[in-house]
A and B are shown apart, each in its own frame.
Chain A
Amino acid sequence: MRTVIKTENISKQYRLGTIGTGNLYSDLTRWWYRVRGKEDPFLVIGETNDQTVKGNSEYVWALQKINFDVQEGDLVGLIGKNGSGKSTLLKLLSKITAPTTGVIKLRGRVASMLEVGTGFHPELTGRENVFLNGTIMGMTKKEVEKKFDQIVEFAGVARYIETPIKRYSSGMSVRLAFSVAAHLDPEILLVDEVLAVGDAEFQQKCLGKMSDVSKEGRTIIFVSHNLGSIRRLCNRGLVLSKGNLVFDGEVNLAVDKYLESLPSHDDSGHNLVSFDLDESKHFQFTRISVEDQNNQSKGTFYYGERIRVRLGYIIREDCRNFSVRMSLARNGETIFWTFDTDEDEVLFARRAKGDYLANIELPDFLKAGIYTISISFIEMGFEKEEHIDVIRFVLDDSTIDTTTKSYHLDRPGHIRGKVDWVYTEHPVEV
């Protein structure tokens, strides 16, 4: 096994705020320190990147001292909360921006799918765009020619290939774009959340294509919030938290590690997350907690207990076409989504300003596992203020006495179907 990626102490610093005269001053200061052969005064490594806490410096470390090796043929899942540095790491690996300190060594051609359809030009036809996009990603014209039919077939847009991209549906252009990227044949493929788009059938096709690619001995680094696909696809996981690499190992252990790191009950037993308020926002979440039938918030529930999510948010301006979404995932795999406007068209049409507190009763078909909740607002069809895996709780089934029943804890399936078996005919004796 050859090492194809090696990172040595890479860190990435960003400056907060806008670029203006203040920058010129620090640029000059840096330059003056460098001229005198001294160390850059703004490159003090140490302060952690916690986005919720206002730091005392206007410089933040998006990544700090990241070290890892990737072997040929590895399928690495990159896991972490929003802002943990996943995208920054991919940007560094794909040479889009340089690290502030440290070295990255790569073997072979790298192709990145940080956003599909990069360089798609709306006026050009599908065919012209396939060539343009393919060469942007590093193929030669000849290679694109050789793969052209495969690309078009995989995307399923053969009929539209001479039509300008601007006439494509969004699904079609995404399929075409992914198809180009999937046929790149790079030694190292970096994929960022591309599977969030497209229909379920195409997502399955993409996942299949990615595992085919890896079987050919190529390396993939895959970022996704869908821990289920990470578990299925990857053999190794890297967990990032606040810019630090906190875990590097087998993928299931990595997912577990990530789930454990999510906010849960604190020492006092409460399971409650509060958000900082920002008066300038038209709407925002204020709190979320997971509670039992006695309105007691907690982190571990046992079978038979009622589980209720209490979600608070504030609307500062009247909103139209507005919904609140909550999704529930079990061990990283999404179980269901629910919108507060699923049954209520009046609330969907108009929502007056004020403080809201929603009580969401979770159904009783949940199996044991680690559950995480993601929340977001949807305004005019667009996702706003998404909090992925904002809170977690554990559902424990160890209280069930299984000694005399056929019940087995490790049964396959995502939900516990509590189904009545009713026999209408008595067995005939033979």
Chain B
Amino acid sequence: MQATEEKWDTIITSKAPLFDFRLGEVWRYRDLLVLFVKRDIAQVYKQTILGPLWFFIQPFITTIVFTVIFGNLAEISTDGIPPVLFYLAGITFWNFFAEALSKSSTVFRDNANIFGKVYFSRLVLPLSIVMNSFVKFCIQLLMFIIVYVYFMSVNDAVRPNAMALLFPVLVIITAGLAFGFGLLITSMTAKYRDLYFLIQFGIQLWFFATPVVYPLSEVDPENRIYAILNPMAAVVETFKYGFTGVGTFEWSYLAYSAGFMVFIVLLGILLFNKIEKTFVDII
């Protein structure tokens, strides 16, 4: 009896150990994670006639817009790749990052009501947001592959190389960066919302700092080091390089992005878990 007396399942205190990521708890709520993703997908097309087809229409329109506008009008260098393919490659990855980031960076604010009523592993929500963005990314990717196959058949220069195999790594880095930065931002805006007004603006600036609509090779060699400090730069460049053979690829750039991603995810979870404990009192 005395031995079991000290064995508790849950101990709630005001302070949490600093390096407790509480990932076991996320695992326990894995079914909830899947249901959240399903819910967010389902609610998009509830009560529509076209139903799940809407998931394809938006990326399709994006593709058309990029084909028409950038294929004909823009005069920015595309390193010799067909412009459509160049822009589409960049925007596919960027949209994934931007959507996952902007949605997960308001997760506290958007879910204040449910957080105040019931406890579940809070990390499940931002994770579900990133997974939901990933689903949308896959559809946009499908569009990209269709366009890509078309260009492969008409243009001998468009061929994938070995670096295309890095694709899963690129997806993980992008998802991790969006997740980590999202957690950081939502934690920092939980109490003082000032920063909140800058999120959309910041994402727009970040877009121009990333070689999405221009190749990294266009940046002056002496400034390139600053451009590559942006962890998304290597991701987008590697993707373009792997599938078209044109672009800048350095193992060191990619390693930097991967390291940066791991750091930001850990930092994000730590801060998120700390804020989460008393978040309900300050919203």
Residues of A within 8 A of B (CB): 2-3, 6, 14-15, 19, 23-24, 91-110, 112, 114-115, 118-119, 121, 123-124, 128, 131-132, 135-141, 164
Closest 6 CB pairs of A and B: A135-B32, A104-B12, A95-B119, A98-B277, A141-B31, A106-B10
Is B118 touching A104 in the complex (CB atoms < 8 A)? no
Question: Are A128 and B277 CB-contacts (below 8 A) given A106-B10, A106-B12, A118-B117?
Answer: no
Question: Are A107 and B119 CB-contacts (below 8 A) given A121-B39, A123-B47, A135-B31?
Answer: no
Is A138 touching B120 in the complex (CB atoms < 8 A)? yes
Question: Are A97 and B281 CB-contacts (below 8 A) given A23-B191, A110-B10?
Answer: yes
Q: Which residues of B contact A140 (CB under 8 A)?
A: 31
Is B43 touching A123 in the complex (CB atoms < 8 A)? yes
Q: Which residues of A contact B7 (CB under 8 A)?
A: 107
Is B14 touching A112 in the complex (CB atoms < 8 A)? no
Is B35 touching A112 in the complex (CB atoms < 8 A)? no
Write out, one digit per residue, whether chain B residues 249-283 have a CB within 8 A of any chain A CB (1) or not (0): 00000000000000000000000000001111110
Is A164 touching B117 in the complex (CB atoms < 8 A)? no
Q: Which residues of A contact B32 (CB under 8 A)?
A: 132, 135-136
- How many interface residues does B have (CB within 8 Å)? 37
Question: Are A108 and B9 CB-contacts (below 8 A) given A2-B4, A98-B14?
Answer: yes
B197 contacts the other chain (CB 8 A): no
Is A19 touching B282 in the complex (CB atoms < 8 A)? yes
B167 contacts the other chain (CB 8 A): no
Sample 23 A-B pairs with CB under 8 A, ordered by A number. Answer: A15-B281, A19-B282, A92-B12, A93-B12, A94-B119, A96-B117, A96-B280, A99-B13, A102-B14, A104-B11, A105-B12, A106-B8, A106-B11, A107-B8, A115-B117, A121-B39, A121-B43, A124-B43, A128-B39, A132-B32, A135-B32, A139-B31, A141-B35
Q: Which residue of B lies closest to A115 (CB)?
A: B117
Cα A429 to Cα B5 with chains together (Å): 75
Task: List 17 extra interface pairs beyond A123-B43, A132-B35, CB under 8 A.
Answer: A2-B4, A6-B8, A15-B281, A23-B191, A93-B12, A94-B118, A94-B119, A96-B117, A98-B12, A102-B13, A104-B12, A112-B118, A131-B35, A132-B32, A138-B28, A138-B120, A164-B46
Q: Which residue of A lies closest to B12 (CB)?
A: A104
Is B277 touching A97 in the complex (CB atoms < 8 A)? yes
Q: Which residue of A lies closest to B1 (CB)?
A: A2
Q: Which residues of B contact A99 (CB under 8 A)?
A: 12-14
B202 contacts the other chain (CB 8 A): no
Question: Are A136 and B118 CB-contacts (below 8 A) given A95-B10, A105-B11, A106-B12?
Answer: yes
